[in-house]
Amino acid sequence: MGKPRVALALAAALALFLSCSDVVVRAQDTERIEGSAGDVLEDDPVGRLKVYIYELPTKYNKKMVAKDSRCLSHMFAAEIFMHRFLLSSATRTMNPEEADWFYTPVYTTCDLTPWGHPLPFKSPRIMRSAVQFISSHWPYWNRTEGADHFFVVPHDFGACFHYQEEKAIERGILPLLRRATLVQTFGQKDHVCLKEGSINIPPYAPPQKMKTHLVPPETPRSIFVYFRGLFYDTANDPEGGYYARGARASVWENFKNNPLFDISTDHPPTYYEDMQRAIFCLCPLGWAPWSPRLVEAVVFGCIPVIIADDIVLPFADAIPWDEIGVFIAEDDVPKLDTILTSIPMEVILRKQRLLANPSMKQAMLFPQPAQPGDAFHQILNGLARKLPHDKGVYLTPGQKALNWTQGPKGDLKPW
């Protein structure tokens, strides 16, 4: 394509953007989600299940937070806030004999580097130790070897406990958790780190902090495409071909000079406000397919542009991701501008109306205190829909389904 044609195409795209942003401001009506998804989103789990919380020694949870309070604010913090929520939840039972589900409050993402990044290397040992504790102090684990237990495992690759995909695949899901229900942020179809029956949840994003950055709803959306974050991870991927499977690098190389794209590695203090001024927010994979940008985009009404092949998204039975987002194949990143500028205005407006639905935003957040329809309640809804348990989950006396000595030697060391 010659320079005149490129200029004409760019001018047409800019004209579409300007007309679109002008109309979006006047179209902030809320649209309810139709069909089963809308019903599921508004379900109330109270009265549908009972959860028993194991009382573990505080070294597995509270002492970890006391040692490093940064655990409360990183994107893996759902495991901490889920515990706090359940302690006062109406679904909690103090009688384990009447419980539908058993919960083990162990904080495996609270071992942090000096820079605040979770180290997964001790996590398998912490988790094994916790399972050994509950199996030796209560009879309930041994009845099913975890089939009526759930664990919150918000690591990059869930219970595979590693932040690099190749090593996570090599490890696989921790053997002792292979009968349990895993509540995790990681989700990718046909992946060894996503167990069938897992409940996929959003990562933690600080609700109160986000609330303080809300802009007036009539604020014009004057940014067409917005993204802040890494394009290359030179420290962990110096050659540049492994991180984000090259998708983020492709975004930068193709669109760093495109006036429709406001993209940078800088993270300005107006980051949240900027998202509320954008029509599309890029949500590309990083080391894992998911990131907090997905939560931020939904909460701030910015149409999420999901670039992560085969991703399994949070609460997919309640949130119609196909209707509120745009999915871009990783190989199609070079065509991102053409794809986005070709979306009809009426489609954009409907996505924005759906995103304006308060129940949609609520489902993506872990507020304190909890609120009806939030992510805590969506998790309980997911557990309730799995009831009643199949009789086959209960083992006969002496029967064993799990191999306690399976796994890397380092995982078998005491913690």
Q: What's the pLDDT at 333?
A: 98
Q: What are 406's two structure tokens?
A: 């399976």
Residues 6 or more apart whose Cβ sits within 8 Å of residue 291: 75, 203, 229, 283, 284, 285
Give, for all 415 residues of the chain, the pLDDT tens digit. 444 444 444 555 555 555 555 544 444 467 766 655 556 777 889 999 999 999 999 999 999 999 999 999 999 999 999 999 999 999 999 999 999 999 999 999 998 888 888 888 899 999 999 999 999 999 999 999 999 999 999 999 999 999 889 999 999 999 999 999 999 999 999 999 999 999 999 999 999 999 999 999 899 999 999 999 999 998 888 777 789 999 999 999 999 999 999 999 999 999 999 999 999 999 999 999 999 999 999 999 999 999 999 999 999 999 999 999 999 999 999 999 999 999 999 999 999 999 999 999 999 999 999 999 999 999 999 999 999 999 989 999 889 999 999 999 999 999 9
Per-residue model confidence (pLDDT) at position 34:
63
Give me the sign of the Cα torsion angle 391, 392, 394, 399. positive
Two tokens at 85?
A: 């929520």
Residue 324 structure tokens: 């509120």
Supply the pLDDT for residue 37: 56
Task: Tokens for 198, please give them.
Answer: 């897992």
Q: Is 236 helix (H, G, I), strand (E, B) or coil?
A: coil
Question: What's the CA dihedral at 6, 9, 14, 17 to 10 degrees?
Answer: -140
State pTM to two decimals.
0.91
